[in-house]
Amino acid sequence: MRLELEKYQEELSQELDNILYYWKHFAVDEINGGFVGKIDNYNNINFSAPKGSVLNARILWSFSAAHNLKANPEYLEIAHRAFNYITNFFIDKVYGGVYWLIDAKGKPVDTKKQVYANAFTIYAFSEYYIASQNEDAKTMAIKLYNDLINHSFDDKNGGYFEAFNREWKSLDDLRLSAKDANEKKTMNTHLHVLEAFTTLYRNWPDEDLKQKIIGLINDFLIHIIHPETGNLILFFDENWQAKSDIISYGHDIEASWLLLEATEAVGDEALIASVKSISVKIAEVSINGLDADGSLWYEYEPAENHIIKEKHWWVQAEAMVGFFNAWQITNDEKFLNISLQNWLFVKNKIIDYDKGEWFWGITAGGEIMPKEDKVGVWKCPYHNSRACIELIKRIGN
């Protein structure tokens, strides 16, 4: 097993370098500054495409985290570029928070305050502070945290409201993407607010922040994780009434390890024990989404008894980490074998050895999804680089 783990670690280290090589080679925008907004599946760059705050925050996080794993001045240089671009063009200097979308030249074109995007910027600034020790990054992360507490936190029922206009007023359309339900609270946003606050807490051990992290963990334990099935509920109204029964296999397995990471960060031993048990339960039910080749399907729609058998890149990345985490908790080798099998699927089907990076995914029929981006508002270096970084560290320990 030790030899197999060392091989896993070595392959992931090489793949991390490959992923980041692609981003620094293709995604740097030498015409307009920052990073390009869109590259298609065949590496055709669209220099006029708008640029998303999530994409830029995830670039900053990925290169900062990679530098924190193995110091590399080229990674840090890209991180500096990303930080400077975000602070110059995405931060709203008047009302606080970050814009959702800017055009290729840096002009805001969608100024809504999506809490998800603000969370990722906190996450990225916090990781960048570890890499650079740039005090401005820490100060700005704390400022964005206070923006969310002041405008998005639900004092009555707990949790965070989904989105606002530029001035932090209510919106009719709260959706993160066209496929989402138009509801006031979502699992996805809460998961990444938790992730952001956890990383900020490592730099800024503020007591109120600690309590907000514990509150988020309890939101998952009480409201978001279905008490019977162990799957995550995706959408809610302001009173935490469930508004969806769709099962997202990727989010389930992702939450299984991010919840434990957050709980360990605040150091509550009773809560850690409880969350470990929940993490294993989520991993167990996620096995229902596995195909025979070790890959994880996209979603299940219970009302129609329909599995969406697409295999998206980010879902596989989260499966690699989530099942490995379950093995670390239980020592049950079935979880380790699933992680290894999933990595084998990624090597065989998801990595683009010709043009670089990972394909968006594989169709239910086993074909590459050709019309999806390599770089875009949602196609970022975050899930796959984070899986590599997380597993390299876990195997090393």
pLDDT tens per residue, range 107-144: 999 999 999 999 999 999 999 999 999 999 999 999 99
Please state the domain count of the chain: 1
Res. 68: pLDDT tops 90? yes
Q: Do residues 19 and 387 lie in contact, with contact meaning Cβ atoms separated by under 8 Å? A: no
Residue 98: closest CA among 129, 131, 122? 122
Question: Left, alpha or beta for 31 (phi > 0: left; psi -120 to 50: alpha)?
Answer: alpha
Q: What pLDDT is stored for residue 311 in this prediction?
A: 98
Q: Is 95 exposed, middle or buried (0-12, 13-18, 19+ CB in 10 A)?
A: middle
Residue-averaged pLDDT of the chain: 97
pLDDT confidence tier of residue 359, bands split at 50, 70 and 90: very high
Q: Is 28 exposed, middle or buried (0-12, 13-18, 19+ CB in 10 A)?
A: middle
Q: Do residues 144 and 121 lie in contact, with contact meaning Cβ atoms separated by under 8 Å? A: yes
What single string gives the DSSP state of each residue in 228-267?
A: TT-PBP-EE-TT--B----EEHHHHHHHHHHHHHHHHHHT
pLDDT digits (tens, 9 = 90+) for 180-225: 999 999 999 999 999 999 999 999 999 999 999 999 999 999 999 9
Q: What pLDDT is stored for residue 397 in this prediction?
A: 81
Q: What pLDDT is stored for residue 318 in this prediction?
A: 98
What average pLDDT does range 151-156 have in this prediction?
98
pTM confidence score: 0.98
pLDDT confidence tier of residue 295, bands split at 50, 70 and 90: very high
Q: Is the dihedral of CA 169, 170, 172, 178 positive or negative?
A: positive
d(CA 387, CA 383): 6
- Which pairs from 8-12 meet CB under 8 Å and 24+ separation? 8/340, 8/343, 8/391, 8/395, 9/391, 9/392, 9/395, 9/396, 11/343, 11/347, 12/343, 12/387, 12/388, 12/391, 12/392, 12/395
Res. 330: pLDDT tops 90? yes
d(CA 352, CA 135): 38
pLDDT digits (tens, 9 = 90+) for 93-107: 999 999 999 999 999
Res. 53: pLDDT tops 90? yes
CATH code at 243?
Answer: 1.50.10.10
pLDDT confidence tier of residue 361, bands split at 50, 70 and 90: very high
What average pLDDT does range 302-323 have in this prediction?
97
DSSP-derived pairing of the beta strands 113-114 and 108-110? unpaired
Q: Is the dihedral of CA 98, 103, 106, 108 positive or negative?
A: negative
d(CA 307, CA 58): 29
Q: Do residues 249 and 297 lie in contact, with contact meaning Cβ atoms separated by under 8 Å? A: yes
153: containing domain: 2-396
- Return the H-helix or E-strand segment holding 149: helix 135-151
Q: What pLDDT is stored for residue 70 in this prediction?
A: 95
244-281 burial, b at 16+ Cβ within 10 Å, e below that, comes to: bebbbbbbbbbbbbbbbbbbebbebeebeeebbebbbb
Integer angstrom CA distances of residue 318 from 141, 206, 387: 25, 29, 7
What average pLDDT does range 382-396 have in this prediction?
98
Structure tokens at 39: 């590259």
pLDDT digits (tens, 9 = 90+) for 229-264: 999 999 999 999 999 999 999 999 999 999 999 999
d(CA 75, CA 61): 11
- Return the H-helix or E-strand segment holding 361: strand 361-362
What average pLDDT does range 319-337 have in this prediction?
98
What average pLDDT does range 383-396 have in this prediction?
98
